[in-house]
């Protein structure tokens, strides 16, 4: 039994050794697979063809509308309220010089009559003193034909002056009574809208008591915060300088397009740049320019009014520039480099950028008309590297200054 076990072990060793030998032989006879060099394709890029353009700079911003004129209505004479205009309610519109509140005028009419009577009495006294002076002068000349009196009292000159002064005082009282009677009708010298009111018929009003807050509807203002570097691209009228010709400033108005999303639609108004507020915000380092809209009550397309508190986008129509190339901002690298394509090779090109806004960089030096640039991202770029062109757009989107283009650009601040 033991002999048989040894024979089995020996056979196993022989078989294992034969297998190892065969395996080594097969490995030694194997040929290496052929090696092929795989060509790495050039990166595929999107391109855009650039064009020289004459454009008008448009500076974008936004702000909240406010009324240029806002006042509190305060009585100048006391009295009981007789009537209140039907439109004199919160949100009501009124016209210039329209009677908004009528204070009971009876006391002031009586005061006017007394003042008129006082003027009449003073006029009689003056006439009487003048007549007596004439009589005294005649008597003196008859008695002393070639001699002047030693005192002015002889010709009643002081009495005449006193009577004249009393007449003037009575006339001033009359003018005051007329003014007080006029003030019983409360009105304002501009078209406006009521913000809040607190007066009813029968209410007694005192001098200086605020009864309403109103604002003028003829002109609205929009303060627009801008970075100081944007101010170079448009004209700002300097209406605050001493001796400034305002009519000349008005001839050089910088037009501004105003847009607002209100009541489910996009609305447009046209305004002009009026001034700057002359102060740099210490927190934001921005300076406010003030846009005025002189016809804010109706958007001609919808009849929507430009109301205080509305948030609007503005597009300031600035200076005209010639031979400028617009490069999409995402195609600018390292602040002043673009990737130029020539004969399917990429070249890194430095350019001079005179302005950037939300969409474009404005280039005046470094690019030529019909130059082609890369507008797609690349991980690694070397100067002169080969590329494949995926497609080429015919031209950069035209930079237009009409209202429609401004509307599209004014969604956000540049």
* E strands present in 22-99: 44-49, 52-64, 66-67, 70-73, 79-84, 93-94
Query: Average model confidence (pLDDT) for the chain?
Result: 84
Beta bridge partners of 401: none
Poorest-confidence range of 39-43, 215-219, 223-227?
39-43
From the candidate CATH numbers 2.40.10.10, 3.30.2130.10, 2.40.420.20, 3.20.20.70, the one assigned to the domain spanning 45-55+320-402: 2.40.420.20
Question: For the chain, where do the domains classified as CATH 2.40.420.20 start and end?
Answer: 45-55+320-402
d(CA 139, CA 210): 64
Comparing CA positions, the residue from 197, 187, 195, 211 lying closest to residue 95 is 187
H-run or E-run covering 270? strand 265-280
- Say if residue 143's pLDDT is above 90: no
> Does residue 36 have a pLDDT over 80?
no
What's the confidence (pLDDT) of residue 392? 46
Q: Say how far apart CA 68 and CA 88 lie, in whole Å.
A: 20
| Contact criterion met (CB below 8 Å) for 389 and 48 | no
**Burial label, 404 (beta-carbon count in 10 A; 0-12, 13-18, 19+):** exposed
pLDDT tier, 12 (very low <50, low <70, confident <90, very high otherwise)? confident
DSSP run (H or E) holding 226: strand 220-226
Name the phi and psi angles at 104, rounded to 5.
-55, 125
pLDDT, tens digit, for every residue of 176-210? 999 999 999 999 999 999 999 999 999 999 999 99
CA distances from 391 to 46, 326, 336, 340, 388 (A): 6, 19, 24, 15, 9
pLDDT at 42 over 60: yes
**Share above pLDDT 70 across residues of the chain, in percent, rounded to a whole number:** 82
How far apart CA 373 and CA 172 sit, in angstroms, is: 83
Tokens 């009295």 -> residue: 79
61-68+216-319 is classed CATH 3.40.980.10? no
Region 299-306 average pLDDT: 73
Helix crossing, 106-143 with 157-182: angle to 10°? Answer: 170
Cα distance between residue 408 and residue 414, in whole Å:
12
Mean pLDDT across 33-49? 79
Pick from 319, 374, 328, 318: nearest CA to 353: 328
> Where is 271: in which H helix or E strand?
strand 265-280
In this structure, are residues 235 and 252 in contact, taking their beta carbons and an 8 Å threshold?
A: yes
Q: Is the pLDDT of residue 214 over 60?
A: yes
* Mean pLDDT on 91-118: 95
- Strand-by-strand arrangement of the 185-186 sheet: 185-186, 101-103, 79-84, 204-205
List of residues 6+ apart from 28 with CB closer than 8 A:
none
The CA dihedral of 109, 110, 114, 119, to the nearest 10 degrees, is 10
C-alpha–C-alpha distance, residues 9 and 206, integer Å:
130
| pLDDT value of residue 411 | 42
Q: Who contacts 231 (Cβ-Cβ below 8 Å, separation ≥6)?
A: 276, 287, 289
Identify whether the C-beta of residue 363 lies closer than 8 Å to the C-beta of residue 350.
no
As a whole-number percent, the residues of the chain with pLDDT over 90 amount to 58
Residue 335 CA, chain-centre distance (Å), reads 30
**Which residues does 150 contact at the CB level (< 8 Å), separation at least 6?**
none
Rounded Cα gap, residues 86 and 148, in angstroms: 71
| Alpha carbon distance 362, 130 (integer Å) | 86
Arithmetic mean of pLDDT, 328-350:
94
**Which part of the chain is CATH 2.40.30.170?**
61-68+216-319
CA distance 323 to 243: 38
Range list of β-strands (E), 65-151: 66-67, 70-73, 79-84, 93-94, 101-103
């Amino acid at each position: 039994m033991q002999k048989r076990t040894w024979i089995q072990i020996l056979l196993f060793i022989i078989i294992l050794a034969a297998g190892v030998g065969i395996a080594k032989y097969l490995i030694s006879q194997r040929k290496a697979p052929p090696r092929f060099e795989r060509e790495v394709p050039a990166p595929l890029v999107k391109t855009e063809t650039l064009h020289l353009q004459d454009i008008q700079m448009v500076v974008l911003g936004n702000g909240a509308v406010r009324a240029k004129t806002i006042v509190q209505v305060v009585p100048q004479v006391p009295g009981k309220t007789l009537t209140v205009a039907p439109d004199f309610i919160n949100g009501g519109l009124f016209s210039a010089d329209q009677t908004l509140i009528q204070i009971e005028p009876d006391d002031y009419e009586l005061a006017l009559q007394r003042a008129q009577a006082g003027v009449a009495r003073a006029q009689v006294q003056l006439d009487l003193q003048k007549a007596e002076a004439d009589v005294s002068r005649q008597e003196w000349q008859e008695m002393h034909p070639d001699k002047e009196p030693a005192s002015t009292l002889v010709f009643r000159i002081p009495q005449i002056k006193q009577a004249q002064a009393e007449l003037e005082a009575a006339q001033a009282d009359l003018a005051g009574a007329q003014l007080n009677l006029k003030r019983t009708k409360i009105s304002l010298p501009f078209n406006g809208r009521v913000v809040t009111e607190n007066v009813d018929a029968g209410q007694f009003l005192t001098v200086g008591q605020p009864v309403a807050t109103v604002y003028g509807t003829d002109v609205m203002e929009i303060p627009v915060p801008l970075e100081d570097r944007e101010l170079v691209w448009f004209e700002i009228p300097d209406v605050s300088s001493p001796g400034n010709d305002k009519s000349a400033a008005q001839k050089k108005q910088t037009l501004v397009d105003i847009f607002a999303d209100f009541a489910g639609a996009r609305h447009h108004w046209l305004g002009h740049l009026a001034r700057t507020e002359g102060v740099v915000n210490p927190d934001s380092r921005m300076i406010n320019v003030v846009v005025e809209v002189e016809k804010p009550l109706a958007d001609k397309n919808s009849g929507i009014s430009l109301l205080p508190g509305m948030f609007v986008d503005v597009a300031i129509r600035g200076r005209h520039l010639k031979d400028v190339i617009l490069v999409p901002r995402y195609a600018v690298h390292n602040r002043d480099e673009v990737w130029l394509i020539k004969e399917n090779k990429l070249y890194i090109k430095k350019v001079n950028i005179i302005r950037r806004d939300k969409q474009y960089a404005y280039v005046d030096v470094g690019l030529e008309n019909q130059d082609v640039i890369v507008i797609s991202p690349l991980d690694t770029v070397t100067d002169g590297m080969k590329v494949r062109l995926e497609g080429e757009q015919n031209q950069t989107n035209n930079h237009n200054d009409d209202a429609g283009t401004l509307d599209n650009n004014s969604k956000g601040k540049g």
